[in-house]
Amino acid sequence: MSAAGSSNPEFVVARVRARRGQLYGDEEYRKLVRMTPAEIARFMEESSYETEINALGSRHGGVDLIEYALNANLAKQFEGILDWSEGALYDLIARYLRKFDAWNVKTVIRGVYTGASQEEIESDLIRAGEFDDRRIRRLLEADSIDAVVETLEDTIYGDPLREAYAEYEESDVLVPLENAVDRVFYERLLENLPGGEPIRQYEAFLKAEVDFRNATNALRLARSGAEIDPAEYFIEGGELFTRDTLARLARNVDELVEYIAESGYADQLGPALRELEEANSLIAFEHATDAALLAYGDRLGTVHPVSVTPVISYILAKEREVENIRAIARGKEAGLSADDIESELVIT
């Protein structure tokens, strides 16, 4: 509930582990891939998504219903975790879940920029972060980007957004604003972590995530060949890259691949890197980083059973499930074959 007092990892971990057992496994995915969107919705209604499907069923249908139900369920589960946890544990989980705040801020900014209606923006928000309903309502009511920035004045995003806003006014592109939000999130993620062995492991895990994010961004930039300064997209805090190495490597795909292949992540990412060289497919690499993170989280969760790590491992697995079901539903809608969809899934 709050960051004061002692933490209660036993309670949170027990609940999270029970929830983890309810996530879909291989078997369920195999069934889902062979269903139509309507059948998927019915399947979800019979599992842990029952409340959301019933609540949204009258307003939406088909793939939209699945998508909104997934988002609503994700938000509910993560809000729940924040509600239960206390003390230092709350702080550690909130750090990670702030990524949904960042997502919401970016969605609102993009929505305002493209002139989307309030309802359209609202349906894309994931209310899983630290922002309360009042702040989200105020964000939604903002009718200009200036107003959005003002609403966030007293949050951690306030000052960086204010600075980025000046840049935005000059160039009229959203990149500086979005980068500012992302950067604040990642800075806060790794800042002032308390001591202790589980926390060290947690930190290593977060660093791996930053590294993977940097690697993916660099690969995308290198392959697109766009004239964008890679340093603009650099996220501080990782171990693998510095701003300079990233800027240098992002110009050449081969060198970048080699650099990653020689790093400490070679074992997890090796096969995906080979595929990247042969088939030129970035998707496989992105899936490999996701799978590697999931496996990493799982391992940490078993090494330190009574700490923050099982919770983070659950958060990752849940996000993965939501993305998998979304991929299945969207793939079905687009008429992809079961095999094609299966190759889009990340299942561990």
Partner 1 sequence: MLEATNALGNAVLSTGGTLTDPSAAAALAVGLAALGAGYAERGIGSAAVGAMAEDDDLFVNGLILTVLPETIVILALVVVFIV
Binding site for partner 1 (CB under 8 A): 8, 10-15, 17-19, 84, 306
User: Least distance from C-beta 10 to partner 1, angstroms?
Assistant: 4
User: Least distance from C-beta 59 to partner 1, angstroms?
Assistant: 29
User: Least distance from C-beta 300 to partner 1, angstroms?
Assistant: 19
Question: Which residue matches tokens 């697109």?
Answer: 224
Is residue 82 within 8 A of residue 3, CB to CB? The reply is no
- 4 vs 306, which CB is nearer to partner 1? 306
Task: Report the amino acid identity of residue 316.
Answer: L
- 90 vs 296, which CB is nearer to partner 1? 90
- 214 vs 307, which CB is nearer to partner 1? 307
- 5 vs 57, which CB is nearer to partner 1? 5
Q: How far apart are CA 31 and CA 96, in angstroms?
A: 32
- 8 vs 348, which CB is nearer to partner 1? 8
Q: Nearest-5° angle of CA 227, CA 230, CA 235?
A: 155
Instruction: Report the length, in residues, of the chain.
Output: 348
**Tokens at residue 36, please?**
């139509």
User: Least distance from C-beta 84 to partner 1, angstroms?
Assistant: 8
Counting Cβ atoms within 10 Å, is residue 1 exposed (0-12), middle (13-18) or buried (19+)? exposed
**Tokens at residue 234, please?**
């650099």
User: Least distance from C-beta 13 to partner 1, angstroms?
Assistant: 7
Q: How far is CA 157 from the centre of its chain?
A: 18
- 20 vs 207, which CB is nearer to partner 1? 20
User: Least distance from C-beta 160 to partner 1, angstroms?
Assistant: 37
- 15 vs 135, which CB is nearer to partner 1? 15
Q: How far apart are CA 75 and CA 82, in angstroms?
A: 11
Task: Report the amino acid identity of residue 249.
Answer: L
User: Least distance from C-beta 232 to partner 1, angstroms?
Assistant: 44
Counting Cβ atoms within 10 Å, is residue 147 exposed (0-12), middle (13-18) or buried (19+)? middle
**Tokens at residue 278, please?**
């042969």
- 15 vs 188, which CB is nearer to partner 1? 15
User: Least distance from C-beta 21 to partner 1, angstroms?
Assistant: 9
Is residue 145 within 8 A of residue 129, CB to CB? The reply is no
DSSP per-residue letters across 68-89: HHHHHHHHHHHHHHHHH--HHH
